[in-house]
Amino acid sequence: MKAMILAAGLGNRMRPLTDHCPKPLLPVAGKPLIVHHLERLRAAGIHEVVINVSYRAEQIMAALGNGDAFGLRIDWSQETTPLETGGGIQQALPLLGEAPFLLINGDVWCEALPNAQALQGDDLAHLMLVNNPTHHPDGDFGLRAGRVHPSSATRLTFAGISVIHPALLAGQPPGAFALAPLLRRAIDDQRVSGEHYGGHWVDVGTPERLAELESQLHRKRG
């Protein structure tokens, strides 16, 4: 299985930290956030990674190179202007191939990955869901018997980590578009499975959350 890391965002919520450093290269526990993703992917046996870039693309590409330093191969999908999540994935599909792939938002911290075999039957996606953080108390989706539902008495938050079948994007015109509406349509069609991860996860979207993550990891290291 291949993996894709979404790393083309402008990082507006992270300013001023991202004025001169793209968000994927912001340090966490002594190394760039995106390097933690690469190390976890390699440990999971994934050797081919596609990364989309736009804002300060050259800076990210120079820092990570072709992936040799991390024991894997990196292919780059460079966007002249950001294509949002869906458009970025669609542009990268020739690099990803026709098989399901692991998709990771570059600005999350998570100590686990879904099973490479999580996608079954004619499902189009498998989502990792987490407990709702304080900044997103209402969650995104329900989860019952391993199936994701648009509504439920108990809702969880999408972790920004999933297994995606390329067919999810079939028929979409080129250009910028979001992934979320495609996921919601597939959920309505009962073609999305999911799992609840109760471990350490952080949406590293603001300087305050980045600082809190650093503090959590420092306490964990003792």
Confidence class of residue 222 from pLDDT cuts 50, 70 and 90?
A: low
- Give Rg (Cα) of the chain: 17
Lookup: tokens for 130: 């987490």
Q: List the one residue out of 76, 117, 83 whose CA is nearest residue 100.
A: 117
> Domain boundaries in the chain?
3-221
| Range of 143-152, 182-191, 210-219 with top mean pLDDT | 182-191
* Percent with pLDDT over 70 in the chain: 99
pLDDT digits (tens, 9 = 90+) for 107-149: 999 999 998 789 999 999 999 999 999 999 999 999 999 999 9
Residue whose token pair is 């879904």: 114
pLDDT digits (tens, 9 = 90+) for 21-53: 888 999 999 999 999 999 999 999 999 999 999
Q: Using CA atoms, how far apart are residues 26 and 187, in angstroms rounded to an integer?
A: 34
- pTM value is 0.95
User: Which residues are within 8 A (CB) of 31 and not within 5 positions of it... i.e. 6 or more apart?
Assistant: none
Cβ-based burial of 122 (10 A; exposed 0-12, middle 13-18, buried ≥19): exposed
CATH superfamily of 3-221: Spore Coat Polysaccharide Biosynthesis Protein SpsA; Chain A (3.90.550.10)
Q: Using CA atoms, how far apart are residues 187 and 149, in angstroms rounded to an integer?
A: 6
Peptide bond into 137 cis (omega under 30): no
